[in-house]
């Protein structure tokens, strides 16, 4: 399975503004357009429950994409679920990927947040990353990964400037060959 981590962060590496949940207030319009284009070209999107809680009002469900929210208590979200469009699962990353592969999926977008990203990285499942860097500092906030000790090598394969202010879109492939943890 090709698993693409997709996140937006500041130049000082923050993926949330301080302790606030919403990212739509600070990410650029160009990044939001890039995110929507990417979603339109995928059929499988996975996120953690805290990310879902923070974006659910902006989610437009579609029969063309299956969204899966990982939570240890799927029953809590029973009334939000919609067959084939929005599922809540307590599977581990490996169990989820194995099930999705058996269903014929070959590509997955992993949309955060930091805890889910860490779980997928620890299982060495992330194959590439699309990281947008917004030209601002927040000083405090979450990071792409929840605290973990790792040394994982990335290879930069594409850099794109998205706007005049200097929002950058970086594409990396992930190599676990020399990963230490």
Ligand X SMILES: NC(=O)c1ccc[n+]([C@@H]2O[C@H](COP(=O)([O-])OP(=O)(O)OC[C@H]3O[C@@H](n4cnc5c(N)ncnc54)[C@H](OP(=O)(O)O)[C@@H]3O)[C@@H](O)[C@H]2O)c1
Binding site for ligand X (CB under 6 A): 7-9, 15-16, 21, 23, 47-51, 54, 70-73, 111-116, 119, 142, 146
Return the residue nearest ligand X (CB atom).
113
Query: In terms of CB distance, is 34 or 66 closer to ligand X?
Result: 34
Tell me the HSE value of 58 on the side-chain side, using a 13 A CA sphere: 12
- Cβ distance to ligand X smaller for residue 146 or 170: 146
User: 171 - beta bridge partners?
Assistant: 130, 158
Distance (Å, whole) CA 174 – CA 124: 9
Residues 6 or more apart in contact with residue 98 via CB below 8 angstroms: none
Between 72 and 178, CB nearer to ligand X: 72
Helix (H) or strand (E) run with residue 29 in it? helix 29-40
Of 58, 70, 60, 4, nearest in space to 27 by CA: 58
Shortest distance in whole angstroms from residue 116 CB to ligand X: 4
CB of 122: closest distance to ligand X in angstroms?
9
Shortest Cβ 87–ligand X spacing (Å)? 13
Nearer to ligand X, 35 or 63 (CB): 35
Least Cβ distance, residue 47 to ligand X (angstroms): 6
Closest to ligand X by CB, 66 vs 141, is 141
Dihedral over Cα of 172, 176, 179, 181: its sign: positive
How near is the Cβ of 77 to ligand X at its closest, in Å? 8
């Amino acid at each position: 399975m090709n698993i693409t981590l997709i996140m937006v962060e500041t130049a000082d590496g923050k993926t949330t503004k301080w302790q606030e949940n919403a990212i739509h207030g600070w990410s650029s319009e160009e990044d939001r357009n890039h995110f929507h284009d990417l979603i339109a070209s995928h059929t499988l999107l996975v996120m953690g429950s805290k990310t879902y809680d923070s974006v659910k009002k902006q989610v437009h469900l579609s029969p063309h994409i299956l969204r899966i929210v990982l939570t240890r208590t799927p029953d809590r979200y029973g009334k939000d679920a919609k067959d084939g469009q929005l599922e809540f699962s307590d599977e581990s990353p490996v169990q989820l990927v194995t099930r999705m592969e058996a269903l014929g999926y070959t590509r997955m977008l992993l949309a955060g947040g930091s805890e889910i990203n860490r779980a997928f990285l620890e299982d060495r499942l992330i194959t590439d990353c699309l990281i947008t860097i917004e030209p601002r500092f927040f000083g405090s906030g979450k990071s792409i990964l929840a605290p973990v000790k790792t040394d994982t090598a990335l290879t930069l394969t594409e850099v794109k400037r998205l706007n005049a202010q200097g929002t950058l879109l970086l594409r990396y492939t992930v190599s676990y060959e020399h990963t230490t943890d």
